[in-house]
Structure 1
C-alpha cells in the first residue's frame, strides 16, 4: 500500500480532478470524457462519483490531444496509443525475461 506522503509520486495515483486534469493535459473536460468513452483509460471515481485522473492518464490524454490536433481521428488516436502502450509493456516483459535468463545461466 502506498503511504499517503508517497501518493503524489505514484504515476497511477488518481490525484487530479477533471478540471485540473483538463488544464494540465491542455484539453477540455469533454475531451477527457470522450477518451473514457473510447476506453483509452477509465478514470477512478471518488466516493461522490467524480472522475479522478492519474499522471499516467494525463500523459495519455495529452498524447491523444496532440494526435487529434494533427488530424488523426479520435478513435484511431486512442487505438494507436493503446497499441503503443501494449507494445511497450510487452517489450519490458521481454527485457525482464532476458535479464532473468541471463542471471539463471550465469
Structure 2
C-alpha cells in the first residue's frame, strides 16, 4: 500500500514540477494526472485491500506513466530533474561496471615468513 501511495504522490509532484511541465505535452500530462487521481481515490476508498490489489493498481499506473516518462527522458537525454526513482527505476541504472580484463584472478596473495 505504501509503495503505491508513494509512487502516486511522487508522480503527481513530478508532473507539477516546473521543469517537467515544460517537457511533458499537456495531453500526456492530463492522462497521467487523471490516472494518478483515480489511483489515489481508489486508495482512499480501499484501505483494507489485499496486497495483490495494490500491486495490480501500481502496475496499472506504471503502464500509463512509464511511456510518458520514457518520452520525457528520451527527449531530455535522461539527465534532468526527476531521476529520483519516480519511474520505478530506469532500466540499466545501477548496473555493475564491466571489467576490462576478463582474466582478472582477484588479489595476489604472497606468503610471508
Please give the range of the TM-score, normalised by the shorter of the 2 chains: under 0.3
Q: Relative to total residues, which structure has the larger helix share, 1 or 2?
A: 1
TM-score, normalising length: structure 2: 0.26
Q: Relative to total residues, which structure has the larger strand share, 1 or 2?
A: 1
TM-score, normalising length: structure 1: 0.28
Instruction: Tell me which structure has the larger Cα radius of gyration.
Output: 2
Higher relative contact order (CA 8 A, sep 6+): 2
